Structure formats: structure tokens, C-alpha cells
Amino acid sequence: MIEIENVHKSFGDLKVLDNVSLTVKKGEVVSIIGGSGSGKSTLLMCINGLEPIQSGSIRVDGIEVHAKGTDINKLRTKIGIVFQQWNAFPHLTVLENVTLAPRKVLKKSKAEADAIGRKQLEHVGLGDKLDVYPSKLSGGQQQRMAIARALAMEPQYMLFDEVTSALDPQLVGEVLDTMRLLAKEGMTMILVTHEMAFAREVSDRVAFFKSGKMHEIGTPEQIFGNPQRPETAQFLASVL
């Protein structure tokens, strides 16, 4: 379970998260929608401790992410995150990209890590690209590799930050298919997305952010069919 309680976060004078609270239960898929600069990416980075918070608390499986004594590296192995820019490690082959962390962080043997890597790469449809360097892959393939890389850590949670935004339109579908598959398999996920139809289809709940505040959260039917807040309705009218 991810429990976010009254989180405040600023960059200097700029308030980026303003009293955000959100609980995501095991197996749940929560989408976050909202305009540019509303704090969506920042929230994901606060969840795995890549960004500090000023007040409030974030707990993952009961562990305080931002407490001083927390072993953040260990906690991060439970939380996979995939960014808009896929950040393939260019000097490693596809299989090495995926097995590096299982080997060096989880201390798995090469054979064990390779087995996991192959499995995850097949999972995302890259089983035939193991020994290729990322520069030879399309954007969609690199993004799926990044998903496999996160999954190879066998995380309990997956965070996705606009993973299709930097892709050519014809490559969006293959990445969404991969995420759809994960949702179906019961992975707990938080996804920031501009793909409204996709959010509506896969989410258990959808949260709407504006200027660092979570204005509304509810079922996809509520958010997209019958929004309770004028800001939500306004935003949806502008993007749909």
C-alpha cells in the first residue's frame, strides 16, 4: 500500500504539491491527470524518494520514504518507475540494461538475472532483441525495454510518468498494450497520463491535479462522466 498524507513540496518559492493525500491499495490502478506543471511528475518522484518533501508523509508498505533512517535504495527496489524519456543505458545491450540492477543491486547470479531479464523482455515483446544496443531500437521499443528493466526488479509497485508522450503516434499503442497487460496481471500502478481513453479504460480511480492540488479523485465513470468539480470539467473540456 502507498499512503500519501498531507504532502507539501516546493521548489524554492514555487509550491508544487499542496497538501496532497492519496492512498493506493495493492492491485489498484490509479491514473493522475492534469495540466502541465500541476505537479504530477513531482509526486511520482517524491513517492520513491528521488525528490524530498517539505512536510507530510509518504509510506510504502508502512515504511516512511522520507525518514532519515530509511534504506532508500532498498525501498526503491520495490517501486519501479518509468519516465517519459526512457533513459536506456546506451553502453549496455538490451539484456544488460535489464539485468544490471538485479545483479548488482539484488545480488542475483548472472544466470538467474539473465533468466529474469529474458522473461521480462519477452513479456514486453522484445525477446528477439536481447543482444542489441538501445540505439538500434525505436522509441517504443526503448520504452518497453525501460518497462522490462523496472519489472526485472520484481517490484510491488509501478509508477509511470507519461511514458507515451515522447513517442510517435504509431508507437503509442504497443506501449499501452504492455501497460494494459500489467494492469490485467494485478500490478499496483500509478500512472500519469495524457491518454484519457486509456486512463478511463484501465484505472480503478482517476485523480485530477491542478496547481499542485488534487482537486478530485473518483472512479473513471465519475471523473469522465460526471465530474464533481468545475476545474475537472474545465480541464477535460480542454483536452477531449
Ligand X SMILES: Nc1ncnc2c1ncn2[C@@H]1O[C@H](COP(=O)(O)OP(=O)(O)OP(=O)(O)O)[C@@H](O)[C@H]1O
Tell me the window of 29-37, 91-99, 123-131, 170-178 that interacts with ligand X (CB under 6 A): 29-37
- Out of 1, 37, 173, 204, point to the residue binding ligand X (CB under 6 A): 37
Number of residues that bind ligand X (CB under 6 A): 11
Rounded least distance, CB 220 to ligand X, Å: 19
Q: Mask of contacts with ligand X, 38-67, x by CB under 6 A?
A: xxxxx-------------------------
Rounded least distance, CB 237 to other proteins, Å: 33
* Interaction site with other proteins (CB under 8 A): 48, 50, 73-74, 76-77, 79, 81, 83, 85, 87, 89-92, 100-101, 104-106, 133-135, 146, 149-150, 153
For residue 178, which of 203, 141, 138, 207 has the smallest C-alpha distance?
Answer: 141
- Nine-digit cell at 118? 529474458
Distances (CA, A) of 86 to 44, 45, 148, 151: 15, 15, 11, 14
- Out of 41, 120, 142, 178, point to the residue binding Mg ion (CB under 5 A): 41
Cβ contact 17:39 at 8 Å: yes
Q: Which residues contact 1 (CB under 8 A, 6 or more apart)?
A: 23, 24, 25, 26, 59, 60, 61, 62
100 binds, among other proteins, Mg ion, ligand X, none (CB under 5 to 8 A by kind): other proteins
14 - beta bridge partners? Answer: 11
Cβ contact 75:62 at 8 Å: no
Residue ranges that bind Mg ion, judged by CB under 5 A: 41
